Amino acid sequence: MDSVTDQTLLATLSVDRSKSDHKPSKRGRGLLLIFAGVFLGAAADRLILAPTRSSDVAPRQEARAAVQSTFSRVGDRIVVPESSPLRTLLAVAPPTMKEVARSLVLPAIVEADPSRTVKVMPPVTGRVIDLKVQLGGRVVQGQELAVIDSGDLAQAFSDIEKARSTVTLTKKALDRQLSLEKAGGAAIKDREQAQSDYAQAVSELERAEARLRAIGIPADQKEQSRLLSIKAPVSGSVIDLQAAPGAFLNDPTAAMMTIANLDTIWVTANVPEKDIAFVFPGQTVNVTFRSYPDDVFSGKVLFVSDVVESDTRRNKVRIAFDNPDKILKPNMFANATFMAPPVSQLIVPTSALLMSNDTTSVFVEVSDWAFERRNIEIAYQEGTTVAVKSGIRPGERVVVKGGVRLND
């Protein structure tokens, strides 16, 4: 049918060309249009009804079959068949057991031992007229630190003199009443009043003497002066100074200076909350100082605070060091390396890990080339390996390379 139509159309066209000298008739033009429509419809049918070539379908089918043949899922397991090319891309190995002595390095600072630190308070108010020491200087016990001109000291001397005079007067009155009572010429109430007055005078004298001793002056000192010499209560170094010549000291509770014995110092480190379980009293610590980079000072944890700092979420840990030569000075920076006892740990390479949101997992081989995905807990990471706290057991094999292909 198609061949007859084509031949008829060609014949008609040839006739029209042979009659090129004459205009085509109305009948010829109509036939030409009809044959052209039939020809175009037949060509369209061939295009629509022609089957797709097998060469176009084959690559897509082969790719789909290749993906399906790489591995299969059986429940929660992934099975890699023997014919799968994926076997050449996966590396399966057991985790290694390793004796690991983990260390934790933290910044630290040198501090004076509080049990060997004394704040020097002014016992009286007054003006500093002379300062005998400097910040950072060393002093010995009993050494003069400063001289204060104090009205309170003059008042203390006056109080003790009045108390002594009152004691003398009341003692005479009491003796007189006792003599009169023996002679029968005095009332009992007068003798009792004299005894009470004398007892009160003695108490006032004791109070005045105690006040003078608290200031630092012997109660029996004869020489009286407004000038008070402040003496060092202990031997050590002046690590804080809050007084200067001419300054007026009006708060007896405010320290004018601080003296610390630096024969023993503390190195204090702040341990992050997540690492608190790593440190404990008696633990070995190696400390290095920026001032002495080639020296390592070995000590032990003396104290672990029971309180976590609310603002920094850190815990204070202190290490004590003997410092006879005073080479370690307060406020020096240091690095403290805490050493934990060696423990056996399962070690896997980081290439085995699969991350998903907040979980970490690995593919564990449960039978020959059959795997299941299992979440693990990491103890810590060091370089390209991690220590596994839980999730896998010794002897189990995991995918250490190419596991992401099983995750597709």
CA 371 remoteness from chain centre: 39
How many whole angstroms separate alpha carbon 401 and alpha carbon 403?
Answer: 6
Q: How confident is the model at residue 130 (pLDDT cuts 50, 70, 90)?
A: very high
How many whole angstroms separate alpha carbon 1 and alpha carbon 8?
Answer: 11
Superfamily for domain range 108-115+259-338: Efflux pump adaptor protein, beta barrel domain (2.40.30.170)
User: What is the reported pLDDT for 7?
Assistant: 45
Report residue 214: phi and psi, to 5°: -65, -30
User: What is the reported pLDDT for 31?
Assistant: 43
Q: Does position 364 have pLDDT exceeding 80, yes or no?
A: yes
Please count the other Cβ atoms lying within 10 Å of the Cβ belonging to residue 129: 13
User: What is the reported pLDDT for 9?
Assistant: 39
Q: How confident is the model at residue 1 (pLDDT cuts 50, 70, 90)?
A: very low
Alpha carbons within 13 angstroms on the beta-carbon side of residue 49 total 6
The second-level CATH assignment, the architecture, of 73-101+343-406 is Beta Barrel (2.40)
177 CB-contact burial (10 Å; exposed 0-12 / middle 13-18 / buried 19+): buried
The model's pLDDT over 101-121, given as tens digits with 9 standing for 90+, comes to 778 899 999 999 988 999 999
DSSP 391: S
- In the structure encoding, which two tokens stand for residue 229, read together? 């010499």
Q: Does position 78 have pLDDT exceeding 60, yes or no?
A: yes
User: What is the reported pLDDT for 255?
Assistant: 93
Better-predicted residue by pLDDT, 396 or 38: 396
Better-predicted residue by pLDDT, 169 or 218: 169
Contacts of 223 (CB under 8 A, 6+ apart): none
* Annotation: CATH topology of 151-225: Helix Hairpins (1.10.287)
Contacts of 265 (CB under 8 A, 6+ apart): 110, 111, 112, 113, 320, 321, 323, 328, 330
Average confidence score pLDDT of the chain: 82
Closest CA to 348 of 306, 403, 296: 403
Q: Does position 11 have pLDDT exceeding 80, yes or no?
A: no
Q: How many residues appear in the chain?
A: 408
3-state secondary structure at position 261: coil
How many whole angstroms separate alpha carbon 376 and alpha carbon 384?
Answer: 17
The model's pLDDT over 371-387, given as tens digits with 9 standing for 90+, comes to 999 999 998 888 899 99
Better-predicted residue by pLDDT, 407 or 329: 329
Q: Does position 85 have pLDDT exceeding 80, yes or no?
A: yes
Q: How confident is the model at residue 191 (pLDDT cuts 50, 70, 90)?
A: confident
**What DSSP element (H or E) covers 103?**
strand 103-112
The model's pLDDT over 231-279, given as tens digits with 9 standing for 90+, comes to 999 999 999 999 999 999 988 889 999 999 999 999 999 999 988 888 9
